[in-house]
Amino acid sequence: MAKYAGLSRRRFLAGAVGAGGLGVLVACGNQVGQMQNAPYATNAERNAGSGTVPAAVQASAATPAASGTAMTGMNDMPGTTTAPASASTAANATATPAKDWQAMSQMHEAGVKTFLAQPQTLRGGQRMEYTMQDGVKVFNLTAKPMQWEVTPGQIVEAYAYNGVVPGPQIRVMEGDSVRVILKNELDEATAIHYHGLVIPNAMDGVPFITQPPVNPGESFTYEFTARNPGSHMYHSHMNSALQVTKGLLGAFIIEPKDRSAYPAFDQEYTMILNDGPLGFTLNGKGFPSTEAVTVKQGTRLLIRYMNEGLMIHPMHLHGMPMTIIGQDGYLNTPYKCDTVNIAPGQRIEAIVECTEVGAWAWHCHILSHAEGEMGMFGMVTALIVQ
């Protein structure tokens, strides 16, 4: 028990939230290069995007077998006691306590139990209310910093629209007149880009290309007609590698006027992927705070995947195939798969025939975004078919 003695999962995750920033992006985008100088030996650090590792965790990371596994993502070879070669490059590889596999299993179990109990937490992405003014649907968005709980006890500074990550979902009908009033309460300039929408150039939301930036304290009004149906997004287009990964994003769904060409579905779920200062998240939460999706057997579930992060995330659903029906709001020839790559900026629409009863794991299959020695984290949820 020495490795994890006195280290609860909650404390572990909370303690790892420190410097924040984009360290996690560098680490995961260029793991090999990073290993030499700054080994990312723990999952919580990846989850939190932190450059600071609690002392207790550093001690455990000094275990060559553990750090080697975490850094390279390779599985330990069964029956092998030799540390991976890469572990010898870890600066702190000194003592080699025996691996505490029971503690490892306990951490895995604790995470799953917390997830299945579905922690009470503020969630983003709810459908946004609007007001009708002279035939125009008016949406008000305020961009503001806030403290956001990513996993139980893990509080991170986020930038949020209307106090939630992701921002509230804007949903209109094809042909609707739309007005979005952005108020900037950040301490830096911002702007909103309507990603995927066919829109007048002046409304495209790119500072210095189509509009002046919206400075701190200022407002900006966007007005356009919702022309092309589909699963689109809205997000900042200013300092976006930071502003979007910190939370300035949301779904912008335009429903088609003519539904006859669109495949039938009973229930839908929008899943926005992100990576960065909040860690690896699904709808603004990391496992075990991610939202389980519960359906009745026989449901045809429409999934709207959207990637607002900086990395590709291949989302894998256990148990049942997904039928990919469209990308970026355009219907394509359907095809079946169980793992679908979602690149940054892409939206993928998939339908699942929920035929198989049970709790089915549903996660990014870049495993360093999903599971490590401390258990599952980040981009993991479940489809629960009842």
The stretch near Cu ion (CB under 5 A) out of 28-36, 167-175, 179-187, 359-367 is 359-367
Binding mask 310-339 for Cu ion (x = CB under 5 A): ---x--------------------------
Q: Which of 350/364 has CB closer to Cu ion?
A: 364
Are the beta carbons of 329 and 347 closer than 8 angstroms?
Answer: yes
Token couple for 247: 């939370």
CA distance 301 to 206: 35
Q: Which of 24/65 has CB closer to Cu ion?
A: 24
Q: Which of 178/350 has CB closer to Cu ion?
A: 350
User: Is residue 369 a contact point for Cu ion (CB under 5 A)?
Assistant: yes
Token couple for 286: 């990391």
Q: What is the longest distance spanned by two Cα atoms in the chain?
A: 73
Q: 3-class SS at 317?
A: strand
CA distance 217 to 376: 41
Q: Which of 170/382 has CB closer to Cu ion?
A: 382
User: Is residue 46 a contact point for Cu ion (CB under 5 A)?
Assistant: no
Token couple for 43: 């999952």
Binding mask 248-267 for Cu ion (x = CB under 5 A): --------------------
The stretch near Cu ion (CB under 5 A) out of 64-72, 139-147, 217-225, 357-365 is 357-365
Q: What radius of gyration do the chain's Cα atoms show?
A: 22
Size of the site for Cu ion (CB under 5 A): 4
Q: Which of 304/369 has CB closer to Cu ion?
A: 369
User: Is residue 48 a contact point for Cu ion (CB under 5 A)?
Assistant: no
The count of C-alpha atoms lying within 13 angstroms of the C-alpha of 209, restricted to the half-sphere facing its C-beta, is 11
Q: Which residue is nearest to Cu ion (CB)?
A: 364
User: Which residues, 6 or more positions from 233, have their beta carbon under 8 angstroms from its beta carbon?
Assistant: 194, 195, 196, 249, 250, 251, 252, 272, 306, 308, 347
CB of 282 to Cu ion, least distance (A): 10
Choice from 41, 364, 382, 385 touching Cu ion (CB under 5 A) = 364
In order of 110, 355, 375, 380, the CA distances from 106 in angstroms are 6, 32, 9, 18
Residue 193 φ then ψ, to 5°:
-100, 140
Our measurement of the distance from residue 171's CA atom to the centroid of its chain's CA atoms, rounded to an integer in Å, reads: 21
Q: Which of 252/280 has CB closer to Cu ion?
A: 280
Q: Which of 193/369 has CB closer to Cu ion?
A: 369
The stretch near Cu ion (CB under 5 A) out of 196-204, 306-314, 317-325, 353-361 is 306-314
Binding residues (CB under 5 A) for Cu ion: these are 313, 364, 366, 369
